[in-house]
Amino acid sequence: MKMKRMLICFLMMSFIASGLLAQQGAQPGSPFFGEWVRNAYHEYYGQNMTTTIFINADGWGMNDPGAMDPPERIGYVISGNTIQLNSVWGPHHSTMTGILSGDTLTIGNFVYHRNNRIVPGADLSAKLNWIQANAVSGVTYNVELTRDEHIRNYTFHYPGRNEITIQLSAVGGNRYIGVAGDSGRIFTVGAGVQLVLGSGVTLFGTETGYTDSRVVTINAGGLFTMNEGSRISSSGDGGVHLLGGNFVMNGGEISGNYASIGAGVLVEQGGSFYLQGGEITRNNAYQNGGGAAVITENSFIYLYGGVIHVNNAELEGGGVFISRGSVNMSSNAVIRGNGARRGGGVFIESGTFRKTGGTITGQGSPSSPNVSMGSGDVVGGIRTRNDASGPNDNLNSNTPGREGGWEERAPQTIRRDYITAGNYTFTFNQSYPATIEIFAIGAGGGGQGGHRKVYQQGLGTRNEDGRGAGGGGGGTVYTRLTVNSSVTLNITVGAGGAAGGGHHKGVGGSWESGNPGAAGGDTIVRFGSTTITATGGRGGAVAGAQNVVGGGGGVIGARPSGLLDWVISNGAAGVNGRHNSDQGGEGGRAGQISNTGSVTNVNSLISSYGLGGRGGHGNNRGTNGSSGFVLIIVTY
């Protein structure tokens, strides 16, 4: 006992010496000293301390006079980060040495952390009020529950302060916190706060459902942690609700809760739930997601461990329901023995279910496989295509059927056509892996203007009409790639080249061909460091010559790296001009390739886009080249 008392007093005095207590707003003589010392005592001995220590302002201390006789007097000497504590207790004298380093005090193998203190107060409400008034950023507050309590809709939020941890600990046996009044919610965790549910602590909801009254709600920036031996149970409006915050379940149990969706855990508005241990069991959803549900984009459930079992949904997703969000299952996570009309274990209405480990087993029915699909997607060890393949060993004991009870669906396809010159953006972020096919045509070059020369013939005149050269067709390219994450395509559809104007020369004038057409614009698709270019056709001819050459077709460059296919065809050249003709020179067609991949209407596309403009006839202007074209097809 003497050594214990000495350690306690030494801890207390070392805090004074380090100046750390003063940083937290407590001065010698404050009753808060006793709280810190008692916390150190708990850490070191693992039992309660009933003696309260009081400190004199001169640095000498005395224990509660009613607790010890004779009283103990303490002094200390500081040298660098070493503190020597001298104690006099009646005829006894002893010396101890400790080392201070930042926020810790070390005596032998014992390390005491300053920022972990036991909160004073007669009951839970008084302790929470004390924290509200005294909380300091970066500190852990241990709220000891020495009896069963009731509280109503308390929010952990401390404006202007952050990185505050509130740990609820059961002392002297299991402790229960129930709802005071008719509201089903007990706690809301706000930004900058972590609430930790320790072993032996149970939060009980109310059996009557109330809108938005789950037992625990986590707002954006908040963190809720459940440890082994904790429990959330018996709520008529669900267990845990994430509205943008984070929930880490290391252990414990969420059970016996009811709600329309996500009876055990509901994740939305950018929240993330990490299941690392414990059980989610015997929860019931009136609609979807008996065990857990994720229902908005950029919201996530990560299943690393723990068990989701014996939950039920009247409609879909007895274990887990996914709508627009994402669920990642790996490691030792288990989903088993859950029931629903569709997807007893997991139902993916939309969004993504990625499975790289863990076990899904269950008790489906022929109409409700253990894992079932709406329009969402699954990637990982099992697949959902018509050519479904992959290991069955993680889907043991399911209802008979392909993939051990897996409900398949046909591949989903997205098609986007870009037919007008301009810049566009296409982003795919739905599910992976996905195959993206790109079919691109460069714009056609403009046709050359025609020309007319007037000659004297007898008493009259005659016209000699020539044709302008046609513009070249755009080059054509098809490629394909696989993506395993979100990708954005930046698309430029080339504009058709402008036509050249015609020329007219009267009697006595020199012969001159029409103005040349302009080159068609390149059609370009960029993503990451890759650039795919379908080159535009050249404009028709060069002014001056009588028989001019048609515009050259677009020429496709080298194949970029990382693409699965590369099918190309250069554009055709336009028809040459001529000084005497009955019509303008025809423009060249876009590069011609056969049907490739999912692109089955290649001929009609080539006949409509990337065409070189026709040369003018006589003194008429040529025609503009047609615009380029991009077709994107995503299969997932």
Q: In this predicted structure, which of 92-106, 273-287, 300-314, 495-509 has the lowest mean pLDDT? A: 92-106
pLDDT value for 29 = 32
**For 42, phi and psi rounded to 5 degrees?**
-60, -45
Entry pTM: 0.50
- pLDDT of 129 above 50: yes
Q: Specify if 477 maps to a domain.
A: yes
Judge if 340 and 483 occupy the same domain: no
pLDDT value for 293 = 96
Judge if 138 and 103 occupy the same domain: no
- pLDDT of 141 above 60: yes
pLDDT value for 6 = 44
Judge if 74 and 150 occupy the same domain: no
Quick: pLDDT tens for 360-402.
Answer: 876 443 344 556 555 454 443 333 322 233 333 333 333 322 2
| Cβ–Cβ under 8 Å, residues 207 and 237 | no
Q: In this predicted structure, which of 144-148, 303-307, 376-380 has the lowest mean pLDDT? A: 376-380
- pLDDT of 561 above 90: no
Judge if 329 and 431 occupy the same domain: no
pLDDT value for 289 = 94
DSSP letter for each residue of 451-503? EEEEEEETTEEEEEEEBPPPPPPPPEEEEEEEESS-EEEEEEEPPPPPPPPPE
Q: Specify if 283 maps to a domain.
A: no
Judge if 583 and 435 occupy the same domain: yes
pLDDT value for 232 = 95
Task: Decide which of 375, 394, 409 is a domain's last residue.
Answer: 409
pLDDT value for 508 = 73
Judge if 564 and 581 occupy the same domain: yes
Q: Specify if 266 maps to a domain.
A: no
Judge if 123 and 217 occupy the same domain: yes
- pLDDT of 4 above 80: no
Q: Specify if 100 maps to a domain.
A: yes
Strands (E), 133-264: 140-145, 149-151, 154-156, 164-170, 175-179, 187-189, 193-197, 201-204, 216-219, 223-226, 231-233, 240-243, 246-249, 253-255, 258-261
- pLDDT of 329 above 80: yes
**For 606, phi and psi rounded to 5 degrees?**
-65, -30
- pLDDT of 603 above 80: no
Q: Which residue has the higher pLDDT, 57 or 309?
A: 309
Judge if 321 and 372 occupy the same domain: yes
Judge if 466 and 531 occupy the same domain: yes
Judge if 159 and 200 occupy the same domain: yes
**Containing domain of residue 383, as a range?**
299-409
Band (25; pLDDT cuts 50, 70, 90): very low
Which is nearest to 214 in space by CA: 240, 178, 234, 193?
240
| Cβ–Cβ under 8 Å, residues 423 and 490 | yes
Q: Specify if 285 maps to a domain.
A: no
* CB atoms closer than 10 angstroms to residue 343: 32
Q: Specify if 275 maps to a domain.
A: no
- pLDDT of 124 above 90: yes
pLDDT value for 213 = 74
The tally of domains found in the chain comes to 4
DSSP 433: S
Average pLDDT over residues 538-566: 76
pLDDT value for 472 = 92
What are 151's two structure tokens?
Answer: 């509280």
Range among 10-14, 433-437, 552-556 rated most confident = 433-437
- pLDDT of 73 above 70: no
What are 216's two structure tokens?
Answer: 């625990």
Task: Decide which of 235, 255, 275 is a domain's last residue.
Answer: 255
Q: Which residue has the higher pLDDT, 25 or 335?
A: 335
* CB atoms closer than 10 angstroms to residue 335: 29
Q: Which residue has the higher pLDDT, 475 or 103?
A: 475
Judge if 454 and 583 occupy the same domain: yes
pLDDT value for 8 = 43
| Cβ–Cβ under 8 Å, residues 279 and 305 | no
Band (123; pLDDT cuts 50, 70, 90): very high
Q: Specify if 284 maps to a domain.
A: no
| Cβ–Cβ under 8 Å, residues 97 and 85 | yes
pLDDT value for 51 = 33
Band (479; pLDDT cuts 50, 70, 90): very high
Q: In this predicted structure, which of 35-39, 107-111, 586-590 has the lowest mean pLDDT? A: 35-39
Which is nearest to 274 in space by CA: 235, 306, 230, 228?
306
Which residues neighbour 166 within 8 Å (Cβ) at sequence distance 6 or greater?
131, 141, 143, 156, 193, 194, 195, 196
Task: Decide which of 255, 288, 309 is a domain's last residue.
Answer: 255
Whole-angstrom distance, CA of residue 242 vs CA of residue 559: 47
| Cβ–Cβ under 8 Å, residues 468 and 585 | yes
Judge if 326 and 445 occupy the same domain: no
Spatial strand order of the sheet with 413-418 comes to: 413-418, 629-635, 434-441, 476-483, 565-569
Strands (E), 90-129: 92-101, 104-107, 110-113, 116-118
Q: Specify if 611 maps to a domain.
A: yes
pLDDT value for 544 = 46
Average pLDDT over residues 52-71: 36
Average pLDDT over residues 211-231: 90
Q: In this predicted structure, which of 1-15, 518-532, 602-616 has the lowest mean pLDDT? A: 1-15
Q: What is the mean pLDDT of the chain?
A: 77
- pLDDT of 32 above 80: no
pLDDT value for 140 = 87
pLDDT value for 520 = 95
